[in-house]
Amino acid sequence: MDVDFGNALASVAVTGVSEASLERLDRRVGRAHERIAAGIEDRTFGYASLALPEETDPTEIRTALEGFDPEAVVTVGIGGSALGAKTVTEALGCAGHHTLDNVDPVETARLLEELPLESTLVNVVSRSGTTAETLSNFLVVREAMTEAGVEWTERTVVTTGDSGPLRDLADRHDLPTCSVPEGVPGRFSALSAVGLVPAAALGCDIEAVLEGGAEGRQSLSPSLFETPAYAYGAVAYALENRGATTNAFVPYAEALEPLSEWFAQLWAESLGKDGLGQTPVRALGATDQHSQLQLYRAGRKDKLVTLLRPREREDVPIPDTDVDELSYLGGETLGGLLDAEFEATEASLAAADQPNVRLEIDRIDAESVGQLLYELEAACILVGELSGIETFTQPAVEWGKRAARGLLGGGEFEEAEAVEGKTSRRVE
């Protein structure tokens, strides 16, 4: 990806960052890069994520999928065990990928009604193999397949850790499996089997995705001024230190909308530690110019707006019109209008002293998507290094899990008592 942070400079936006500050920060970026590079080489927990382009074996994935030629794939997983896979297939236009990454009974029932179960591949993904939502959905899907007369063991592939209930189930039923790479947190696993099985099953070029990731790896160098991923991470970090506690991530491409969900987990779960972290807001261009832009321009100056677009895209001409007020659109294209709105929004934010950064990729294809995922991960890891936080863990998510488990009789958890003791002040 290319990064243009001109609109994040103090010379453009009051809450921006000065060139001199970035020069000083670059020395810290260089030291952080040394730590990151060493962590990649040593496959240290978390940093191992940035070794995935070398470590992920497409052959393992394709072997596990041998004999499958599904009409549809349903990924039963949650968080990093679903978002990366959804991002890759949606970006690459691999039709037929559905995800069950919530336990909304209406949605699960709807999807099971809609799916051609006899020609659907069930892709169960859980690093721990113990995630309640994933296992509950899997049990429901398995029962639905049985009731439809489909032998579930012949239509299920599992991606999980080396041990745990899901690994035991896969072994017991001799299911094809892929491994979850050691030392790679779920939100950083898009460039592993966790993120690539559905794309492979639906005929996408996962090798090219990994090639893009490898180009991302090659792009890392000790300076933010020579490394797009570090330029983005360093500017996001510097802006947060100047009050930008929100990062609105706005791709101008429908195919990249799931990327925003993936980015939100990556940014929030990695950086939301010790009272720090930017709140990622998922938005979509041009649609959210008609909803959130008012806040970005005229609300609190507590934001970074990240604008992402492909430079090339398939296009659609806009026919001529005899409506005078709209005649300027005739002969234009939808892509031309989208690009004009991207640039106009970017300028309108700068004109309102709202720092924004432009990310661009050549086009939305397997290689560009792989490189984009990689470089956004590297940007996130740099922010974690500069912030001095634990980038790769997520202890805060465990409290709620224990409370829910206690409420369901899954053990004695003091967190469940806190739920019972809720302070109420109802208005009906």
Ligand X SMILES: O=P(O)(O)OC[C@H]1O[C@H](O)[C@H](O)[C@@H](O)[C@@H]1O
> 159 or 289, CB closer to ligand X?
159
> 262 or 374, CB closer to ligand X?
262
Ordered strands of the 2-4 beta sheet? 2-4, 356-361, 303-310, 246-251, 279-282
179 is a contact residue toward ligand X (CB under 6 A): no
Residue with the CB atom nearest ligand X in the bound state: 186
Measured CA to CA, the distance from residue 132 to residue 129 in angstroms comes to 9
Among candidate residues 215, 257, 360, 401, the one labeled active-site is 401
Alpha-carbon torsion 228, 229, 230, 234, what sign? Answer: positive
- Which residue from 50, 52, 151 is spatially nearest to 384, judged by alpha carbons? 50
* Site map (CB under 6 A) of ligand X, residues 258-287, x = contact: -----------x------------------
Inter-helix orientation angle 19-42/366-387, to 10°:
110
Residue tagged 């009974």 (tokens): 105
Tell the smallest beta-carbon distance from residue 394 to ligand X (Å).
5
Q: Is 114 a catalytic residue?
A: no
Of 126, 356, 368, 391, the one binding ligand X by CB under 6 A: 126
127 is a contact residue toward ligand X (CB under 6 A): yes
> 80 or 258, CB closer to ligand X?
80
Among candidate residues 133, 240, 269, 367, the one labeled active-site is 269
Measured CA to CA, the distance from residue 124 to residue 169 in angstroms comes to 11
- Which residue from 12, 6, 7, 17 is spatially nearest to 241, judged by alpha carbons? 17
Contact range with ligand X by CB under 6 A, out of 63-71, 74-82, 342-350, 411-419: 74-82
Ordered strands of the 120-126 beta sheet? 97-100, 72-76, 120-126, 156-160, 177-179
Q: Is 240 a catalytic residue?
A: no
Of 39, 46, 53, 79, the one binding ligand X by CB under 6 A: 79
Of 36, 78, 206, 214, the one binding ligand X by CB under 6 A: 78
- Which residue from 118, 107, 116 is spatially nearest to 76, judged by alpha carbons? 107
Pairing, β 356-361 against β 2-4: antiparallel
Instruction: Determine the size of the site formed for ligand X (CB under 6 A).
Output: 15
Tell the smallest beta-carbon distance from residue 152 to ligand X (Å).
19
Tell the smallest beta-carbon distance from residue 161 to ligand X (Å).
8
Of 134, 260, 289, 391, the one binding ligand X by CB under 6 A: 134
Tell the smallest beta-carbon distance from residue 30 to ligand X (Å).
30
80 is a contact residue toward ligand X (CB under 6 A): yes
Contact range with ligand X by CB under 6 A, out of 54-62, 181-189, 293-301, 314-322: 181-189
397 is a contact residue toward ligand X (CB under 6 A): yes
Asked whether 355 and 304 are in contact (CB, 8 A), the reply is yes
Measured CA to CA, the distance from residue 247 to residue 251 in angstroms comes to 13
Contact range with ligand X by CB under 6 A, out of 65-73, 120-128, 256-264, 291-299: 120-128
User: Does an H or E element contain 299, and which?
Assistant: none
Measured CA to CA, the distance from residue 196 to residue 193 in angstroms comes to 5
Contact range with ligand X by CB under 6 A, out of 75-83, 197-205, 227-235, 244-252: 75-83
Query: Which 8-state DSSP code applies to residue 414?
Result: H
Q: Is 133 a catalytic residue?
A: no
**217 - beta bridge partners?**
none
CA atoms within 13 A on the CB side of 341: 19
> 99 or 292, CB closer to ligand X?
99
49 is a contact residue toward ligand X (CB under 6 A): no
> 40 or 78, CB closer to ligand X?
78
Binding footprint of ligand X on the chain (CB under 6 A): 78-81, 126-128, 131, 134, 185-187, 269, 394, 397
Catalytic amino acids?
A: 269, 290, 401
